């Protein structure tokens, strides 16, 4: 378990949505410094926050972030994209871009910060997943989140050797710009951020941040045909 108070934290995709809520949450819990990233330049006037540009599809950009934050102790791998479209008929470049950000971007950040976390005592790596990691029917996004879940489970084994806590966080619909067009009940970013931070501090390896993720995870032992995304009832981050 990793107490956030006094720690140096990195939040990718920290400019808005859940990322911004994570920045607020760790500051409220006493984080000493927060590196908050976005693709485009931005400012944050809080003295504890350093706004940093990051393109997770660029190894050079990710490496530069690790050099900028050599004191990092907790890393939230939150940056992600959603490009809707069926797997068979959607634009293939959108599929590739989705995996490049949601899977390979997560891995690039993990690889860059593994030695940083090791040098600073182990710390924690938190990867943001979705209930759609387990449900079919959401195209490349769901496929990328399933891959990210598997990636996190393997990283947990590899990073455990250096005493790094690896947390996979799953949630349903969150009231962010990413899913603003969907008419579904949504949790607030602040609610989900608080539950994730609670999990980190409790030593969790996985955070199921709402009821739908708990129900869906429990259904994984049942028939695979029942694991389907239906917008009328199933939330997704």
Q: Where are the domains of the chain?
A: 8-226
Q: Which residues are CB-contacts of 10 (< 8 A; sequence separation ≥ 6)?
A: 34, 35, 37, 65, 69, 72, 74, 75, 76, 113
The separation between CA 119 and the C-alpha centre of its own chain, rounded to angstroms, equals 23
Query: What's the confidence (pLDDT) of residue 182?
Result: 54
Distances in Å between the Cα of 90 and the Cα atoms of 95, 138, 165, 192, 234 are 8, 12, 37, 30, 22
Query: What's the confidence (pLDDT) of residue 234?
Result: 41
Categorize the per-residue pLDDT at 179 as very low, low, confident or very high, splitting at 50, 70 and 90: low
Question: Mean pLDDT, the chain, as a whole number?
Answer: 92
Tell me the torsion sign for CA atoms 15, 51, 68, 6.
negative
Look at residue 165 and tell me whether its pLDDT is greater than 60. Answer: yes
In angstroms, the CA 107 to CA 145 distance is 13
- Span 56-79, average pLDDT: 98
Query: What's the confidence (pLDDT) of residue 225?
Result: 75
In angstroms, the CA 50 to CA 43 distance is 8
Categorize the per-residue pLDDT at 173 as very low, low, confident or very high, splitting at 50, 70 and 90: confident
Tell me which of 172 and 204 has the higher pLDDT. 204
Tell me which of 176 and 46 has the higher pLDDT. 46
Look at residue 233 and tell me whether its pLDDT is greater than 50. Answer: no
In angstroms, the CA 27 to CA 216 distance is 31
Percent of the chain with pLDDT over 90: 82
Q: Domain 8-226 belongs to what topology?
A: Rossmann fold (3.40.50)
Number of residues written out for the chain: 237
In angstroms, the CA 118 to CA 115 distance is 5
In angstroms, the CA 2 to CA 122 distance is 9
Look at residue 237 and tell me whether its pLDDT is greater than 80. Answer: no
Look at residue 176 and tell me whether its pLDDT is greater than 90. Answer: no
Q: Which residues are CB-contacts of 199 (< 8 A; sequence separation ≥ 6)?
A: 167, 169, 206, 207
In angstroms, the CA 20 to CA 79 distance is 11
Q: Edge-to-edge strands of the sheet including 124-128?
A: 49-53, 33-38, 8-11, 74-77, 124-128, 165-170, 206-208
Q: Which two three-digit tokens encode residue 55? A: 């393109």
């Amino acid at each position: 378990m990793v107490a956030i108070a006094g720690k140096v934290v990195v939040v990718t995709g920290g400019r808005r949505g859940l990322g911004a809520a994570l920045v607020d949450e760790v500051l409220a819990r006493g984080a000493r410094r927060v590196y908050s990233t976005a693709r485009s330049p931005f400012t944050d006037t809080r003295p504890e926050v350093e706004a940093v540009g990051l393109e997770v599809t660029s190894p050079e950009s990710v490496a530069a972030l690790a050099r900028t934050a050599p004191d990092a102790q907790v890393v939230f791998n939150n940056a992600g994209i959603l490009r809707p479209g069926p797997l068979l008929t959607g634009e293939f470049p959108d599929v590739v871009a989705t995996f490049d950000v949601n899977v390979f971007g997560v891995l690039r950040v993990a690889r860059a910060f593994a030695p940083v976390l090791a040098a600073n005592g182990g710390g924690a790596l938190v990867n943001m997943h979705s209930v759609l990691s387990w449900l079919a029917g959401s195209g490349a996004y769901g496929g990328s989140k399933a891959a990210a879940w598997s990636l996190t489970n393997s990283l947990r084994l590899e990073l455990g050797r250096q005493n790094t806590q690896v947390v996979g966080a799953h949630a349903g619909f969150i009231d962010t710009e990413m899913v603003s067009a969907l008419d579904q009940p949504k949790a607030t970013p602040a609610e989900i951020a608080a539950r994730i931070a609670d999990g980190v501090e409790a030593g969790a390896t996985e955070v199921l941040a709402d009821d739908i993720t708990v129900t869906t995870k429990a259904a994984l032992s049942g028939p695979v045909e029942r694991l389907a995304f239906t917008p009328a009832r199933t939330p997704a981050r």
